[in-house]
Amino acid sequence: MPRRPLGRSGLTVSVPGLGCMGMSEFYGPADDALSRETLETALALGYDHLDTADTYGSGHNEALIGSVLRARRGRVVVATKFGIVREPGAYARRIDNSPAYVAAACEASLRRLGVETIDLYYCHRRDPAVPVEETVGAMARLVEAGKVRALGLSEVSPATLRAAHAVHPIAAIQSEYSLWSREPEAGMLETCADLGVTFVAYSPLGRGFLTGALDVGALGDDDFRRANPRFQGEALARNRRLADGLGALARERGVTPAQLALAWLLDAAPHVVPIPGARRPARLSENAAAAEIGLSGAERAALDALFAPNAAAGARYTEAGMAGIERA
C-alpha cells in the first residue's frame, strides 16, 4: 500500500488507514470475533495505521486492538486519543484537558493497548478553559518519558494548531473531512502544509452515507446516526441526491462510490491521510484500492461542483456532539 508521513515525526503510515471506532459502539452492537477478523485481514492487506480512542466503548476499542498487536507491535502505528470523558454506555460527555488527566489517561491507554509506547497521541477535543499550551506541555512530557512518540490534536482551529506547534511539534491534525464535510479547506489544510503537519481525515465516507449502500431506515436504535441531523427529514432527502450524483460519477469511472470519494481526498493534498472505518473484512480491499485511482482534472471539477462547500444539508453532529469542536 502507498505510504505517507506523519508530519515530521519520522513515522510513515499506510494509505488509507483504518478507523476502528465502529467496532466498539455508535454503529450497532460490537462483535469482537468479527472485529478481530477485520483487524487481522487489514494487517494482512498492508494496513498499518490503526486509529482508536479511550472513549470508544469506554476502553473496549483499545483493548480490542491490543489483543491483535501482541505478535506484530513493530509493524503497526497505533493512534489513540484522550479528552472525552463519558460514563459507560452514555453519550453525554465532558472534556478534560488538564495536565493531570493527560498523564492518567495515557497510563490507562497504555495498559489497555498492552504497549509501552503510543505512536500518535491526540487530544481528542479541546477544553477552552485550559490553555492549549498547558495541555500540549503535558503531552510533551509523555514524549520525553518515552510513553508517546508523536503528538496530535483533533477538531481544532488553525490558530490553536499554531499555538500548540510552538510548544511541541504536532505531527497530525485529525478532523472530519470528506466530500460532504469540507470545512478543513477554510484554512486548516493550508496551515498543516505550512507547518509540515499531516491531516488525518476521519469519516471520509460520511459515516457510510457516501458509499451509496447505507439503508438509513434499517439503522438500529443504538446507532448514533439515527439522531444525526444529516440523516433526518429534508436534510436526508437532499443528501441522498448528492449521494446519487456521486454514484453516477463512480459508474462512469468504473469504480465504487466509496473508492471515488477516497480518491478525491487523496488527490486533495499529499499530506492528507484518510482513515475510513470498517466493521467487516469485505470493505478493506475496496478502500485500499482507492489509493490507486488517479483523478483527471475534469473528474475532480465534477466532484467539487456536486459537493460544493456547504452542499450537505444538516449539521455534522447534534449540538451536544459539537462540544469541543472549534469552529473557527
Residue 95: which H helix or E strand, with range? Answer: strand 93-95
Query: Nearest to residue 154, comparing CAs of 194, 202, 118?
Result: 202
Sign of CA dihedral 300, 7, 317, 54: positive
Peptide bond into 158 cis (omega under 30): no
Helix axes 188-195, 158-167, angle to 10 degrees: 20
DSSP 202-271: ESTTTTTGGGS---GGG--TTBGGGG-GGGSHHHHHHHHHHHHHHHHHHHHHTS-HHHHHHHHHHHH-TT
* Catalytic residue check, 121: no
Q: Which residues of 197-236 are buried (b: 16+ CB within 10 A; e: fewer)?
A: bbbbbbbbbbbbbbbbebebeebeeebbbeebbbbbeebb
Distance of CA 135 to the CA centre of its chain: 21
DSSP state letter for 142? H
- Number of helical H runs and strand E runs in the chain: 10, 12
Residue type, 211: T
In angstroms, the CA 108 to CA 135 distance is 17
Catalytic residue among 27, 47, 56, 101: 56
- Residue 328: helix, strand or coil by DSSP? coil
Distance of CA 11 to the CA centre of its chain: 17
Q: Which sequence positions are flagged as catalytic?
A: 56
